[in-house]
Structure 1
Amino acid sequence: MAGAAVSAGLAAWLVGCGADSAPANHAPESERTELGLMTSLPLYWPLGAELSEIASGAAPAPWQRAVLEERHGLVLLDTLSPIAGLGEGDAESDPLAGLTRIAVIQPRGLSPSDNVALDDWVRGGGRLLLVLDPLLTGDYDLPLGDPRRPSDVALIPPVVARWGLSITFDEDQTEHPRRVRLGKGTSIPVFLAGTIEVDAASARRCALAADGIAVRCRVGRGRVTLLADAAVFEDDGFSTEARSGIAALLTFAFD
């Protein structure tokens, strides 16, 4: 656990070091809510960025980060479970303390303690956006096994089943991108997406959307939004549709 504490501290330090590269086109600080972010995708720092570039602020901010920061102050998360103190007698620190919104997007995998912590946090009133793509379709020019490469295949954490949800993947589906309706007047791009199924016991508290690729569920006093595709985060970002897709997803999940 001490290693997790060091990792979390390093992430916080790097965020501060890279502050100058943060985009400026966002709401005033007082109007932005904090958003915890855990992801293997290059959403906060560019793909393949070296530690020295990140620390110096020379690494350019990805376009996805600019969109996220228009309405949220980002808090990077290496773990979701309590972190042991570095010294004997030091109290644990809770990385989720004070957060009301969290986005877990194509994570590398959640530990058993992460599953428990996330479930407790949601049931206590938190709002979660969980993106689990069965097969990424983005172009990541890094070899398999490189720790900077995103997780090509999502590992479905057990807590998803605890919420009465499951994801299936049709390997024979048509291989072309399409757009699906997410909410009133909004849509997002999807490509080789999974399909979400809701068990009978959870049907009354869940509502499927986007042709079964997304679902919103009440869990305790909180809410879970599950999306079985990450294509909205993998676009080149040059089009208005790409940016509006993430904005629409944030509204769908958190508003």
Structure 2
Amino acid sequence: MIAMGRCLLILCLPMLVLLSGLPAVLHGGQVDAMRWAWPAMLILTSAGWIMGRARLKLTLWISTVAAGSVLLLCVVAAGRAPPPWPMLLLLVIACAAGAGGAVWRSRWPLAFGLLAVAGLAWFVGRASPVRQVADRPALAVITALPLFWREGELGLTARTDALIVALLRRRFDVQPLDSALSPDLRRMGLLMLAQPRGMEAGELVAIDQWVREGGRVLILADPLLLWPSTLPLGDRRRAPPASLLGPLLDHWGVRLAPAETMGEGRHFLPDGSLLTSMAASRFEVREEHCRPEASGLIVLCRIGRGTAIMVADADMIDDRLWLADPGRPLLPQQWSADTPALVMHWLGQSLSGERRWVRSEDDLVRAVRWAALAGILWAGLGWMWFGRVKRPIASGQMAAVEREIGSK
């Protein structure tokens, strides 16, 4: 009965490890092997302690199987292999934790050292927040969205940065502007136009000239803005419900089409990045100097000596669409889309680290099914190979054997 109980425990261990990391995956959609680090450490340490030192080889086998099951889940769910470094760290954590639990009763100093190795591996592989760099280029922002203030409030207390702006300040010297005719724009090389209010012809001409002289502009133009607002319809403080940059885009040979859907959309770019939109549209390109991407959701144009990147959605920078935990916006592990990293990339700055995402619900279900099945099968093989431990013969039994041999 005890042997059957241990066998059942061993067969279930890979599935227990798999299920322990699923809540974090479901919360944000990221497939990160280090999400399983702490749960795997606790589960495998306990399992090693239960099986004991006599089954150390079996414990190491099960720890390797658990890490391999996580790898299989990550590959199937994301449609591509995860980076090797996190998987190697997870393997070290699993084996060190399992072995540490197995030898704890007989050699606790060694067990303590193994658990310390597992903790150190977790510390090395943990996610680090986006840090502020010393050399930050100036970025001008013209927008009607509440990115620098709280809607419906007046005075200095209304000044506050949206979470996307807080992240951009880590890479840029962000400076909001009221008008494209501001002399400050002439001293900057970067501009973000995020659903601005209606501009005069002189402002549109100034932006066109600024780009042709070498400026780089990111335009978020939304034909159907669904940004939540507490202000009543018609209030002048609200952002325009549709983009008013049509004349400028038409001058560059681009037309913003009407919104094709009212719901949320997930768009995987060619490099694997994920962009989440709300009631997004697409651009119709008429000039060769513009190149569409993601079925026209994004357009890259070469205007004179400058560059214009356009996205047919402004809701995308709303933190509700890219952030899983509003309390930790600086931690990429808590994002639900690559939006901040993409905005920085379009503006000429990079963000270290690569995130992998669940492609669809069906892919996640398939990944869990195959990873659990593979883990159970390989755990069963380990039980067959290493599960039976030869028990030493007691002294009384040895004496009886010797007397029996002597009588013969």
**TM-score (normalizing by structure 2):** 0.49
Larger radius of gyration: 2
How far apart in 2 are the matches of 1:53 and 1:37? Answer: 21
Instruction: Work out whether residues 183 and 252 of structure 1, in 8 Å CA contact, stay in contact via their aligned partners in 2.
Output: no
Residue deviations 1:177-229 (CA, integer Å, cap 9, x gap): 11113451212111211210111xx22x2221122111001000000011110
Residue deviations 1:45-80 (CA, integer Å, cap 9, x gap): 2222322414xxxx4432122122121111111111
How far apart in 2 are the matches of 1:141 and 1:229? Answer: 21
Instruction: Work out whether residues 222 and 281 of structure 2, in 8 Å CA contact, stay in contact via their aligned partners in 1.
Output: yes
User: After the TM superposition, which residues 200-219 of structure 1 pair with which residues of structure 2 at under 5 Å, given as runs?
Assistant: 202-203=287-288, 205-219=289-303
Give the 3-state SS of the residue equivalent to 1:95 in structure 2: helix
Q: 1:42 to 1:229 in 2, by over 3 A?
A: same
How far does residue 114 in structure 1 lie from its aligned partner after superposition?
0.6
How far apart in 1 are the matches of 2:292 and 2:221? Answer: 15
1:141 aligns with 2:230: yes
How far apart in 1 are the matches of 2:234 and 2:194? Answer: 19
User: After the TM superposition, which residues 43-54 of structure 1 pair with which residues of structure 2 at under 5 Å, given as runs?
Assistant: 43-54=147-158
State the one-letter code of the partner of 1:111: E
1:63 aligns with 2:163: yes
How far apart in 2 are the matches of 1:49 and 1:108? Answer: 19
How far apart in 1 are the matches of 2:163 and 2:337? Answer: 8
How far does residue 156 in structure 1 lie from its aligned partner after superposition?
2.5
Give the 3-state SS of the residue equivalent to 1:158 in structure 2: helix
How far does residue 25 in structure 1 lie from its aligned partner after superposition?
6.3
Unaligned runs of 5+ in 1: 1-23, 83-93
1:186 corresponding residue in structure 2: 273
2:80 corresponding residue in structure 1: none
Q: 1:222 aligns with which of 294, 299, 306?
A: 306
Instruction: Work out whether residues 131 and 226 of structure 1, in 8 Å CA contact, stay in contact via their aligned partners in 2.
Output: yes
2:179 corresponding residue in structure 1: 79
Residue deviations 1:22-60 (CA, integer Å, cap 9, x gap): xx96423x3211100000111122222322414xxxx44
- What is the aligned-residue identity percentage? 30
More helix by share: 2
How far does residue 130 in structure 1 lie from its aligned partner after superposition?
0.8
State the one-letter code of the partner of 2:284: E
State the one-letter code of the partner of 1:186: S
How far apart in 2 are the matches of 1:243 and 1:63? Answer: 14
State the one-letter code of the partner of 1:49: E
Instruction: Work out whether residues 102 and 127 of structure 1, in 8 Å CA contact, stay in contact via their aligned partners in 2.
Output: yes
User: After the TM superposition, which residues 155-174 of structure 1 pair with which residues of structure 2 at under 5 Å, given as runs?
Assistant: 155-170=244-259, 173-174=260-261
1:152 corresponding residue in structure 2: 241
More strand by share: 1
Count of residue correspondences? 211
How far apart in 2 are the matches of 1:137 and 1:168? Answer: 16
Q: 1:246 aligns with which of 340, 352, 363?
A: 340
Q: 1:150 to 1:242 in 2, by over 3 A?
A: farther
State the one-letter code of the partner of 2:344: L
1:9 corresponding residue in structure 2: none
Give the 3-state SS of the residue equivalent to 1:45 in structure 2: coil
**TM-score (normalizing by structure 1):** 0.76
State the one-letter code of the partner of 1:215: V
Q: 1:243 to 1:53 in 2, by over 3 A?
A: farther
Give the 3-state SS of the residue equivalent to 1:36 in structure 2: strand
Unaligned runs of 5+ in 2: 1-128, 325-333, 350-408
How far apart in 1 are the matches of 2:347 and 2:268? Answer: 14
State the one-letter code of the partner of 1:192: A
Q: 2:140 aligns with which of 15, 19, 36?
A: 36
1:112 aligns with 2:201: yes
How far apart in 2 are the matches of 1:73 and 1:26? Answer: 14
State the one-letter code of the partner of 1:168: A
